[in-house]
Structure 1
């Protein structure tokens, strides 16, 4: 992993270079921080910001930091990163930094085992906003950095088209489902993780408002649920499918596409005429064309015609850099079904 093609004279030059890259990444996102209805964003996105192996997410007054390579895990480099983050973001309200670790990645990178821990400050939990919806955040628990900030703009897009009765499959902590309550008459959300659903229920309490439907939270296996509900003739006007990455590597691609097709095929059978399907994939190894062909095949088998409303990707705080294909991983297609 290369930081720069230029030769750096010494260790101090390296640390100053890293601090400049941190400043550049934050400056790039200043437009996002001005949004009145969101105070959470990805501040540093690894190679896309010229800092391979470094991920930094902001949740209101807490920063979540991932050092995923031996270089970024070096004490001197990490200290320089933290110092620059403090210099840039403390004036804007950041008061705590937590380091999160992924044991599998640390093992692959031959890094010593570690636990999620507080790097600076006093607290590890807070509340944050996305598109005017409020969420709980616990920096020491949850998946990866803690929430799916890359879907922020897709949450808003799904809300624009959603209507009637809605189903959110793989709802995690309720990102899509909570947005849908502002426009749908009924919302059902399911996930296989009880801890995630417990957080989702607490998130719902933060956003209770006049006229919003109460979400029906269901703990279930998504494949079994869709099979049973579609067989029983259950129908919805809006269905969101946001599964985890099925293709962890290229060799899993064929199996992953079969899984995506089964989910989308059953969802299409459960959509009423003019129903809206929001289909997502966060698998880098599934290309845009793979995903589109899968949806086309599922529509044919379901006897439905899909009209694409929007073809979307990750939020702009997760920049896609031409020449770095790994920076483009999220697919989100919104379609109307006939």
Structure 2
């Protein structure tokens, strides 16, 4: 007989709406003696059964929801069906493309688990103790479904410690002989899934890179936080007059140089600049530099609500500088991947930045996560990416009061 967790009176509202986490402070009592990673039944104070989830006795997230069926068997068949459903969605969305996020944690019914696909190489990232316990079962299923050449562990993430899991990185299955090549919009990229940023490439911006590239023809482009060159090199391949790639990582910049050579791009049209972006943007403003298109795709400045003030200042700083580097008619593509900064807050930051830069903006394009990063409507944590493309209209708008 399964152990059961019983919630305090009135603490099941979020669960009723489909929110898939139960926090430790919501629990009234535990019936039985479950251990971390065990499957438990979730019950409201009035006896209503909500289903099954993974239990963790020491985590702030006490239970991660799995299924509303209290009689379900959480076995190989259960996980196979979840993986097949996730794969079917990606194949429908991207056709013959074989690089995408195959599993996006709770949004795909596989708690705390992220699986990325780069051709015949997969990456495994897991922040959930219960899923980590069943890792070998999941890896077996992945091998059956996709026959990958290698499965790489990218568990070098501090959030694992919240579930008592160590940070690790390495080859879990198969042989990994080095970077994997992918193609987007005819542009080739070598992706180092073992040593690259995140799992090797920013898959979540795949719908936005072509939008920027189409507008880059004939323009001077500044790609800030350029990483391996996704935005900048695609812009160069689509006819940008010159692309200035700016990133603090020398290793990322070397990968960008490799990708430029891979595509036969004219290095006279490219500048590779290793520097702190926040400082360099200010220097470029002081130098009177100008660009016709600027891309800002920074890392998450706010990992949690506690960091919101610092994040707001950082976003303001880079967007004000970028707008000052653009002439009237210039284009700003600006993004935030901080889940703690919602869209309304980010737009307020942009509007404030425009006033500080003494200009007005016209919105040309608004984007969010692609279909392989689906948002669970009841779980705001699964919605994190904001992307806007603005045109600068004038330098005559009155500045904001200090």
TM value normalised by structure 1? 0.92
Q: Which string of whole-angstrom CA distances, capped at 9 and with x for unpartnered residues, describes residues 68-126 of structure 1?
A: 2111111xx22221222222222xxx322112112412222102x35312222212532
1:147 alignment counterpart: 201
What is the alpha-carbon distance in structure 1 between the residues aligned to residue 121 and residue 93 of structure 2?
A: 17
Instruction: Give the counterpart of 1:121 among 174, 195, 217.
Output: 174
What is the alpha-carbon distance in structure 1 between the residues aligned to residue 159 and residue 203 of structure 2?
A: 21
1:194 alignment counterpart: 250
SS of alignment partner, residue 155 of structure 1: helix
Instruction: Give the counterpart of 1:308 among 363, 367, 374.
Output: 363
What is the alpha-carbon distance in structure 1 between the residues aligned to residue 169 and residue 230 of structure 2?
A: 23
Q: Which string of whole-angstrom CA distances, capped at 9 and with x for unpartnered residues, describes residues 204-255 of structure 1?
A: 111115x786321001111111111111111000000011111111021122
SS of alignment partner, residue 134 of structure 1: strand
- Tell me if the contact between 2:225 and 2:297 (Cα under 8 Å) persists in the aligned partners: yes
2:104 alignment counterpart: 45
1:243-262 superposed matches below 5 A: 243-262=298-317
Question: Which range moved further: 24-33 or 239-248?
Answer: 24-33
2:66 alignment counterpart: 3
Alpha-carbon shift at residue 59 of structure 1 (Å): 0.8
Could you say if the C-alpha distance between residues 103 and 308 of structure 1 is closer, same or farther in structure 2, counting changes exceeding 3 Å?
Answer: closer
- Tell me if the contact between 2:290 and 2:326 (Cα under 8 Å) persists in the aligned partners: yes
1:133 alignment counterpart: 187
Alpha-carbon shift at residue 144 of structure 1 (Å): 2.3
TM value normalised by structure 2? 0.78
- Tell me if the contact between 1:62 and 1:124 (Cα under 8 Å) persists in the aligned partners: no
Alpha-carbon shift at residue 16 of structure 1 (Å): 1.8
Count of matched residue positions in the alignment of Structure 1 and Structure 2: 327
1:66 lines up with 2:96 in the alignment:
no
- Tell me if the contact between 1:118 and 1:124 (Cα under 8 Å) persists in the aligned partners: no
SS of alignment partner, residue 224 of structure 1: helix
Could you say if the C-alpha distance between residues 239 and 122 of structure 1 is closer, same or farther in structure 2, counting changes exceeding 3 Å?
Answer: same
What is the alpha-carbon distance in structure 2 between the residues aligned to residue 263 and residue 116 of structure 1?
A: 32
- Tell me if the contact between 1:185 and 1:213 (Cα under 8 Å) persists in the aligned partners: no
What is the alpha-carbon distance in structure 2 between the residues aligned to residue 312 and residue 71 of structure 1?
A: 34
1:282 alignment counterpart: 337
SS of alignment partner, residue 292 of structure 2: strand
2:143 alignment counterpart: 86
1:101 alignment counterpart: 155
Question: Which range moved further: 153-162 or 277-286?
Answer: 153-162
1:203 lines up with 2:262 in the alignment:
no
What is the alpha-carbon distance in structure 2 between the residues aligned to residue 215 and residue 63 of structure 1?
A: 32
Q: Relative CO higher for 1 or 2, CA cutoff 8 Å, sep ≥ 6?
A: 1
- Tell me if the contact between 1:124 and 1:140 (Cα under 8 Å) persists in the aligned partners: no
Residue segments in structure 2 that go unaligned for 5+ positions in a row: 1-63, 394-402
Could you say if the C-alpha distance between residues 57 and 103 of structure 1 is closer, same or farther in structure 2, counting changes exceeding 3 Å?
Answer: closer
What is the alpha-carbon distance in structure 2 between the residues aligned to residue 62 and residue 53 of structure 1?
A: 20
Larger Rg: 2
SS of alignment partner, residue 100 of structure 1: strand
Could you say if the C-alpha distance between residues 168 and 9 of structure 1 is closer, same or farther in structure 2, counting changes exceeding 3 Å?
Answer: closer
Alpha-carbon shift at residue 151 of structure 1 (Å): 0.6
- Tell me if the contact between 1:102 and 1:144 (Cα under 8 Å) persists in the aligned partners: no
